[in-house]
Amino acid sequence: MNNSRNNNKVAAVIPFYNESKTINRIVLETLKYVSFVIAVDDGSTDGSPDNIPITENVTLISYKKNCGKGYALRKGLEKGIEKGFLKLVTIDADSQHDPEEIHKLISGLTNYDIVIGNRLNDLKGMPLQRRISNKITSFLLSIKTGQKILDSQCGFRAYRADVVKKITTVEDGYEAETEILIKASRHGYKIGFANVSTIYGDEESKMMPIKTTFGFIKLLFT
């Protein structure tokens, strides 16, 4: 693909680990709203990669072992930069994000460098434990970054390419999404939010709460 043709187009990065039930649909739905999809297989063992519809607008990056969501995001975003895209969206593969709402994030890049989906305007579908932890982490990150962080835990995001080029993450787990916000604020990048749907079904979270919490605390004090 010619990099110069991608300057005004959008690429979506979809990291996934054992999402054979949803990955095909998420890729195809996302492709309706972006120009290119980069699916990153983080060591799946359930045959998920076989469900990726490989076309000229979809590429698959696959790793033999599970390296972590942060690692998969980093590699996917790097691929988007390599291909010359100036706007990149990250979206989870477990159906908790609605690809139809991608335009809300992209339009926000007119005024911000990073735009994050805010699910906390509608808490009806969010489990109580997630509401509490999100409120606490968002409050602490607001203090840390000096910017109002409404939903720190949402992985449904849009980035300007220069942010991705400037920030080098080192965290390989879920903490990487927090790391990005902290480092972006240090570089003076503006973080904005767009209201998106709160979607929770019967999907099983792959986040390890204790490990992720300690990782978050470590980042707050660095």
Rounded Cα gap, residues 155 and 215, in angstroms: 16
- What is the CA angle 162-220-194, rounded to 5? 50
- What is the CA angle 77-83-88, rounded to 5? 40
Query: Tell me, what CATH number does 19's domain have?
Result: 3.90.550.10
Q: Which residues contact 91 (CB under 8 A, 6 or more apart)?
A: 12, 13, 14, 26, 30, 97, 99, 102, 155, 156
- How are beta strands 36-42 and 10-16 bridged, if at all? parallel
Rounded Cα gap, residues 125 and 198, in angstroms: 6
Please give the pLDDT value at position 1: 47
Three-state secondary structure call for residue 96: coil
Cβ atoms 193, 142 nearer than 8 A: no
Which pair of tokens denotes residue 84?
């010359």
Q: Where are the alpha helices (DSSP H) in 127-189?
A: 128-145, 161-166, 176-186
The closest of 209, 217, 158, 207 to 184, measured between CA atoms, is 158
36 DSSP β-pair partners: 11
* E strand intervals along the chain: 10-16, 36-42, 58-63, 87-90, 114-118, 157-160, 191-195
Please give the pLDDT value at position 205: 55
Determine the structural domain holding residue 66 and report its residue range.
Answer: 3-220
Please give the pLDDT value at position 97: 93
* Domains: count for the chain: 1
Please give the pLDDT value at position 200: 62
Q: Which residues of the chain have pLDDT under 50?
A: 1-2
Q: DSSP assignment of 43-65, as one string?
A: S-SSSGGGG---BTTEEEEEESS
Please write the tens of the pLDDT for every residue from 113-156: 999 999 887 766 666 777 788 788 899 999 999 999 999 989 99
Q: What is the pTM assigned to this prediction?
A: 0.88
Please give the pLDDT value at position 134: 79
